[in-house]
Chain A
Amino acid sequence: MKTLLRNRKALVGLAIIATIAILAIAAPLLTEYNPATRTGRPHQAPSMDHILGTTRIGQDVFARVLYGARTSLMVGFGAGLLITLVGTVLGIVAGYRGGKTDEVISFFTNMVLVVPNLPLLLVLAAFIGQASPVVIALILGATSWAWGARVTRAETLSVKQKDFVKSAEMMGERQWRIMAFEIFPNVISIVGINFIGSVIFAIITQATLEFLGLGDPRAISWGNMLFAAQKASALSVGAWWEILTPCFALAFLGIGMSLLNFAVDEIANPRLRTGNRLGRWSLLVRNGEGRL
């Protein structure tokens, strides 16, 4: 954690996410408007009354983007947690148990990896019909665990060979205990990377599914804002504020999450660092081995 706070990318990323979270929580304090109802004339340009303008049916864009942040964050973190949970459990079990268990789990993992994700989600969401944010989070959790399972399994395979695991086995520890208390804490960096990646994926995918018209149109979320704006041809009629607001919100959150992601990646693998603060390693390189 301390190393994380010393990394500039991580700090900026965390600051962005915290800002969005605070804005989302404080939404009722920041705007008097109800995001779901008509509060002004349709497609009003940004003004003092509506600082980010109104939608085609006269809802306040600023209120919608603030309340929408709640949905995006909750689906992102909820689905991310679910994806990571499934992936981690399957990965550790497959890697540690080996044999037939491993073969079965790996086969399914590889299969899920080659079936394209978005088309699969589209079919699921289309049949479920008007999927609410909770349902979207659930189907994301059910279909997107494969990458995490694969990397966790690979990491488990190497941890499994370590002496402390062998000694726990000798002492007759039960398998689930070894997996939960010996293996899991040692693959935690992979689990962390998997979690952040999954949150990014979930946020993007939820927005995409809703943009394609598969979400519940009553839910207030950034994806639905894009869908409504696209359906109202907001760009053609010049209502750029209706489309650009959720766009920038999504881009901002995406950049924040990715900065965090790359920072964790760098901490787990110090060679990848950029910038001036290459620390001891770069000094060593500069003095000793030239450009190597």
Chain B
Amino acid sequence: MAFLFRRLAFYLAAFLAAATINFFLPRLMPGDPIQLMFSSAGAELPPESLEALKLTFGFVDGPLWQQYLTYLGSIFTGDLGRSIKYFPLPVTSVLGHALIWTLVLMGTATIISFILGTWLGVMAAWKRGSRFDVIVSVSAIFATSVPAVVTSLIVLFVFGFTLDWFPNGYAADPSLDPAFTLQYISSVAYHGVLPMVTLCTVLIGGFTVTMRNNMINLLGEDYIVMARAKGLSDRRVMLWYAARNALLPTVSSLAIAIGTILGGSLVTEVVFNYPGLGNVLYQAILARDYPVIQGQLLIMTATMLVANFIVDVSYVLLDPRLKAA
């Protein structure tokens, strides 16, 4: 329990760091920070909205620490300001809506590629040096080394444009209303295939390589020799003695990988015009919509911290030594 509390305190500090970067960055840039942040709005923003926005981002009269506290105050009350591109929608609702799509896409792809990648890694390590191992290892290297942008564009070109098997954009047929109907859900699934395939291709190799390397390092351990000497079946030794222990470092590497997964998912969404955070962000960058760009850092940091915490909890469940501590 103490372990988890310590982690929570650390995550709070990390979140604070992200907020601090957001606060100081416009102020460190040459020129007037207010001008910089809201100039893209032009004359469209009503004066009282501009005042409200300035207050949210801590542009108040007073010393820097007071501005900082004002900014932290608005963040911790959940006020991230309003989007300039989608004015008057608040940043939280613009990003919140997009986050759901990103999480669905990212979550499903992560689970699929984690299970499949780990399984491939176990099998490759077990049949180390065989043709299966060589094929799996080499394709894992290829899959991980190609940037997500490239994988997305090639998948889109081949399956979207050339073969025309799947739609080239959007999360669902735009003519359908979002609802829990079979028609809508199947449309979402159909539109999700290409981004999902891309993300899985990008992610799976990493899991395979980590798991294979962990397994191989473990296969030389004494307790594996012991298990075999006892005459246990191959399957039992492989899964319950080797794979189970090799999984532990894989889970902790998952925590670090979440940032990469997020990045990959952002790019994939832009290519497939998928209405997640990546696409919203892309539009925001093109429109110099700074409140949204800053908001995404906070929301993604928060997402990442929550994911890390889930990994921490599962780590405690997987490793009995931590439960006692």
B305: which of A114, A126, A230, A258 is its contact (CB, 8 Å)? A114
B259: which of A117, A200, A248, A282 is its contact (CB, 8 Å)? A117
B189: Cβ under 8 A from any A Cβ: no
For A274, what are the chain B residues with a Cβ–Cβ distance below 8 Å? 128-129, 133-134, 137-138
Question: Which of A63-71, A77-85, A210-218 is the interface stretch?
Answer: A210-218
Report how far A127 CA is from B261 CA in the complex, Å.
24
For A265, what are the chain B residues with a Cβ–Cβ distance below 8 Å? 213
Residues 194-227 of A contacting B (Cβ, < 8 Å) = 200, 203-204, 207-208, 211-214, 226
Residues 249-279 of A contacting B (Cβ, < 8 Å) = 250-251, 254-255, 257-259, 262, 265, 269, 271-276, 278
B220: which of A255, A259, A292 is its contact (CB, 8 Å)? A292
For B17, what are the chain A residues with a Cβ–Cβ distance below 8 Å? 111, 115
**CB-nearest residue of chain A to B299:** A119
B22: Cβ under 8 A from any A Cβ: yes
B36 touches A127 (CB 8 A): yes
Interface residues of A: mostly helix, strand, loop or mixed?
helix
For B13, what are the chain A residues with a Cβ–Cβ distance below 8 Å? 107, 111
For B216, what are the chain A residues with a Cβ–Cβ distance below 8 Å? 271-272
Question: Which of B52-60, B70-78, B110-118, B284-292 is the interface stretch?
Answer: B284-292
B149 touches A211 (CB 8 A): yes
Binary B-proximity of A118-148 (CB < 8 A = 1, otherwise 0): 1110111011100000000000000000010
B161 touches A251 (CB 8 A): no
Interface residues of B: mostly helix, strand, loop or mixed?
helix
B217 touches A271 (CB 8 A): yes
A208 touches B263 (CB 8 A): yes
B270 touches A126 (CB 8 A): no
For A258, what are the chain B residues with a Cβ–Cβ distance below 8 Å? 141-142, 144-145
Report how far A272 CA is from B126 CA in the complex, Å.
12
Report how far A113 CA is from B253 CA in the complex, Å.
12
For B209, what are the chain A residues with a Cβ–Cβ distance below 8 Å? 262
Report how far A292 CA is from B147 CA in the complex, Å.
36
B90: Cβ under 8 A from any A Cβ: no
Binary A-proximity of B236-260 (CB < 8 A = 1, otherwise 0): 0000000000000000000010111
**CB-nearest residue of chain A to B302:** A116
B25: Cβ under 8 A from any A Cβ: yes
Q: Given known contacts A211-B149, A247-B153, is B21 in contact with A114 (CB within 8 Å)?
A: no
For A214, what are the chain B residues with a Cβ–Cβ distance below 8 Å? 285
B301 touches A115 (CB 8 A): yes
Q: Given known contacts A247-B150, A250-B146, is B25 in contact with A259 (CB within 8 Å)?
A: no
B25 touches A114 (CB 8 A): no
**CB-nearest residue of chain A to B293:** A126
B26: which of A119, A127, A255, A291 is its contact (CB, 8 Å)? A127
Q: Given known contacts A207-B147, A274-B128, is B141 in contact with A255 (CB within 8 Å)?
A: yes
A116 touches B259 (CB 8 A): yes
Report how far A110 CA is from B13 CA in the complex, Å.
11
A240 touches B157 (CB 8 A): yes
Q: Given known contacts A126-B288, A208-B149, is B259 in contact with A118 (CB within 8 Å)?
A: yes
A243: Cβ under 8 A from any B Cβ: yes
For A243, what are the chain B residues with a Cβ–Cβ distance below 8 Å? 153, 157
* B contact residues vs A (CB 8 Å cutoff): 10-11, 13-14, 17-18, 21-22, 25-26, 29, 36, 126, 128-129, 133-134, 137-138, 141-142, 144-150, 153-154, 156-157, 160-161, 168, 209, 212-213, 216-217, 219-220, 224-225, 228, 256, 258-260, 262-263, 266-267, 270-271, 281-282, 285-286, 288, 290, 293-294, 296-297, 300-301, 303-305, 308
With A122-B293, A122-B296 known, 7 other A-B pairs at CB within 8 A are: A114-B305, A114-B308, A116-B303, A120-B21, A127-B26, A251-B154, A254-B145
Q: Would you list 14 pairs from A and B whose C-beta atoms are within 8 A, ordered by A residue? A: A119-B262, A120-B21, A122-B296, A122-B297, A124-B25, A127-B290, A208-B149, A211-B270, A212-B281, A212-B285, A247-B154, A248-B150, A251-B145, A290-B228
